[in-house]
Structure 1
Amino acid sequence: MRYLVDTHVLIWHALDDPRLSPEARQLLDDPAHQLAVSQATLWEIALNLSAGRLSLNVPFARLETELLDNGFGVLPYDFEHYKILLNLPAHHQDPFDRFIIAQSIAEGMVIVTHDVRFQLYPARVFLV
């Protein structure tokens, strides 16, 4: 199964945060699953780091290596993602989340998230 991990879940996983359920940990740690994060997630993390709203265990410059070493791919932007984004209903105003939703729909991936609003969209969702 292919999973697109949203920003909060990625951060919680990296920081071993107790808000991440045991089921979610098991899913993320299973080498049989193909895991990815969106370029939108990396953008959101960079913005939060620069604004002082987030700190990580590793420097941002090492984040790509850390992701790859832990089995995560990075899903780049694609024109098809933008076409889907244009047609999404306005249930959610967060531009990063909306782009992750569009990518998951285009790529046929399951989104791993804590945000119940993702279920309002025609995307497959695994709630943590």
Structure 2
Amino acid sequence: MNYVVDTHTLLWYVTSDKQLSSRVEKILDEAHHKVNSIIILPSIVLMEAIDVLEKGKVSYRIDEFLNAMQNGGQYELAPISWGIIEEYRKIDTVLEIHDRLIVATALQWNARILTKDAEISKFYPQIVVW
């Protein structure tokens, strides 16, 4: 199964934050140990996570974080592609740009989204896992 993560979910996972649901933690653990799941990282999510870490909003070493994403499991970086742009244009503009890109990536990759985000959950409950 393919899953797309948002920034909060990704950072909560790497920092073992209690805000992460046990269901999502299990999915991410399996992907980290290369079992069953592929975690798709929209480029915007990775950039936001780096920004949060650089600003010290979350205590975690950036080098450690990037190494974990590159070498630590079944993570696939999803750059913005023409297919994602096409999906993006179909998504309601009520969502913010970052959320639209996350949803567009999930639709393009035929994936579910690991997120607690209320707006994404409201408009796309059929593909949200929490």
Q: TM range, normalised to the smaller chain?
A: 0.7 to 0.9
Alpha-carbon distance in 2 for matches of 1:86, 1:55: 35
Within 5 A, what are the aligned runs for 1:98-113?
98-113=100-115
Residues 38 and 123 (structure 1 numbering): CA distance in 2 closer, same or farther, change over 3 Å?
farther
Q: How many residues align?
A: 124
Any conservation in 2 of the 1:7–1:45 contact (CA below 8 Å)?
A: yes
Q: Indicate yes or no: 2:34 matched with 1:33.
A: no
Q: SS of 2:16's equivalent?
A: coil
1:124 matched residue in structure 2: 127
Judging by fraction of residues, say which structure has more helix: 2
Q: Indicate yes or no: 2:87 matched with 1:84.
A: yes
Alpha-carbon distance in 2 for matches of 1:7, 1:35: 13
Residues 28 and 74 (structure 1 numbering): CA distance in 2 closer, same or farther, change over 3 Å?
same
Residues 45 and 65 (structure 1 numbering): CA distance in 2 closer, same or farther, change over 3 Å?
same
Alpha-carbon distance in 2 for matches of 1:81, 1:10: 20
Q: Which amino acid aligns with 1:26?
A: K
TM-score, normalised relative to structure 1:
0.84
CA RMSD of aligned residues (A): 1.9
Unaligned stretches of 5+ residues in structure 2: none
Unaligned stretches of 5+ residues in structure 1: none
Q: Deviations over 1:88-110 (max 9, x none)?
A: 112322x2221111111111111
